Each structure stands twice: as structure tokens, then as C-alpha cells.
Amino acid sequence: MRPGARARTYAVTGGVGFIGYHVTRALLERGDRVVVLDDFSDAPYPRAMKERNRADLASGFRGVDVRAGCVTDRAAVREALAGADAVLHLAGLAGVRPSFADPCAYMRVNVEGTANVLEAALEVGVRRVLFASSSSVYGDSTPLPAREDAPAILPASPYAASKRAAELVALAIARRAPDLACTGLRFFTVYGPRQRPEMAITLFARAIVEGRPITVFGDGSMRRDFTHVDDIARGVLLAVDREEPGYRAYNLGSGAPVTLAEMVRGLEAACARTAIRGHAPVPLGDVAATFADISKAGRELGWRPEIPLVTGLGTVVAWVRAGGGPGTAAG
């Protein structure tokens, strides 16, 4: 526990998902109590991975209470939030490409779900709420590196639109509740152990280790601001500890984007194997580059990323080699 601090109770939606698991674990490691609300659906990745994350949290810590429920269910949300000191709303439908197939579901979960969480928090007296947004809100029209005060008005996918809409709903609700400390975190290409299996770094790492070909979209020149999940979890904890009222948005990224080709070369080095490359057209909705201006998070939260890409890629390769994936205990 933090020196001189009492144990607090946090409600974490999506707490057995990828980022949610790491955030929940970080809270428990510092001595806090956590109530997790997760729907355990196969979206956006296999239920077996969420079940494994739940089992690993339960076996490692006593202060966790995991409940099944969706953020679109106001009663379930209200019950999970009752008695919490703060809420970390990390649940949602992720993925640019799948969002074109079912945009209504993305709006329902990401926008309505966020409104549900904020309204329930106000009803039960919680006055600190943090929620997960995305670098996708910037699209391809925002000047890079993207700043939080830059326009974000041309989303490239329904997923991006749902995250921007959730931000606007949160801002409107926060203006009605002047004592609410509401924080939106724009995550930039988060990777690490327990990542969704269809995401590029995990997908490529597994293929390279197993000697299978990988498919690189475009010519490999797309740039991504890859950010390790441990850095993200640390940023989430710093942000949720902010108690000043009002709405604020922060970028959490590496601030040092690399091309997909450079990322693949890093994975090859981490695997000590050469990738078998194939190429395919860039999918609809994928932006040319993500690049975070992280100066605001540095000034106001005291946060900066600490894990260089070469080190972070090594953690993914180690997790894959240890059998990381659905139904496994690796990582």
C-alpha cells in the first residue's frame, strides 16, 4: 500500500480484459480493493482469456470481487459502483475493423455504457470517474503529434466515432456535476502480455515463433505509437488519483512512433528468427499514423512511459513462448 494511505475500493469495468486485468492487478498490488464488472463476452476477444485472467486474479489476491454484468445494464452498474471510492471504466467494444460490421453495438456499449457508468456514479455518490478513450478519436485529419486540445472531428471508423461520442457525453455530464473529477484517457496502441490475439504484435510474435508467415498491411510504412500495458496501467493509477473536479483528457502513448516494418524487425530480434512476410492492402479505417503529444500527462500527472519498445516486445515474445493465450496461465 502507498505509505500513509488507507486501502480504497475501486470499481473497474472490463477488469478481466487486457488493460483491465493489468490495472486491476496494479491496484491490488498496492493494497486496494477492487470490484470488477465484466460481461465475459467473446468480444473483443475469447472468453477463455477473460476466465483465465479472473482465475489468476482470484488466486493471487484476496481483495478482488469479480461480477458478471454488462455496462449497458444500469442496475448491474449501479450495484457494482455502490461503495466505491472511484470508478475506472475500461469496458467497451474495441477494434477498428470489426466496428464496420456492427456499428450499432459499438454505439450501444461504448456510448450508452459510458453514460450509464457516469450516471450511476453520480447516483451512488462516487465523484471520481476515469474512462478509456482511444487515439482513434484523432483520425487522419489531426496534426501530429496529436494534442488533447486539437480538433478530433473526422473519425475514420465507427469505433473511433463511438469513443469520441463517449468523450462528448462525459464532458456534458461533467458540466452538470461540477464536483465530479472525470478523466478520459486516450490510449495509443497498447500492447503487452495478455493482449488480444488478433492484434498485430501478439499475432506476429506467435507466427514468427511458430515459423508461420505474417501479413503486413500496406508497405509497412504505417506508423504506430506502441505503448506497453505496464506504462498504461501506471498512467491509469496516476490519473484516477487526481481529485481536482472537472473534465480532463490525457494522451497516454510512447511519444515515439515507429513504422510497422520497424516493429517487425524488433520482433525478429526478440524472437531470434526471421519473419516470413506477406503483404495485403491497408484495411478500411486504419489511419496512416498515430503519434501522441504526451506533455500534458507529464505536467499534470507526473507520467511518462518507461518501457522502450525493444524491452516491451521481449515481454510479449516471452509470454507467447510460455504458452500465453486463451486458457493458459502464462504471463
**Catalytic residue list:** 159
Contacts of 272 (CB under 8 A, 6+ apart): none
For residue 166 the three cell numbers come to 463517449
For residue 145 the three cell numbers come to 503529434
* CA dist 259 → 8, 48, 220, 229, 266 (Å): 41, 32, 6, 19, 11
Q: Which amino acid is at 126?
A: V
Residue by residue, DSSP assigns 42-94 as SSSS-HHHHHHHHHHHHHH-SSEEEEE--TT-HHHHHHHHTT-SEEEE-----
For residue 6 the three cell numbers come to 488507507
Give the three-state DSSP class for 222: coil
Contact at 8 Å (CB) between 131 and 168? no
Cα separation, 313 vs 264, whole angstroms: 10
Q: Is the dihedral of CA 167, 230, 129, 54 positive or negative?
A: positive
Alpha-carbon torsion angle 315, 319, 321, 325, nearest 10: -150
Residue 282 burial class via C-beta count within 10 angstroms: exposed 0-12, middle 13-18, buried 19 and up: middle
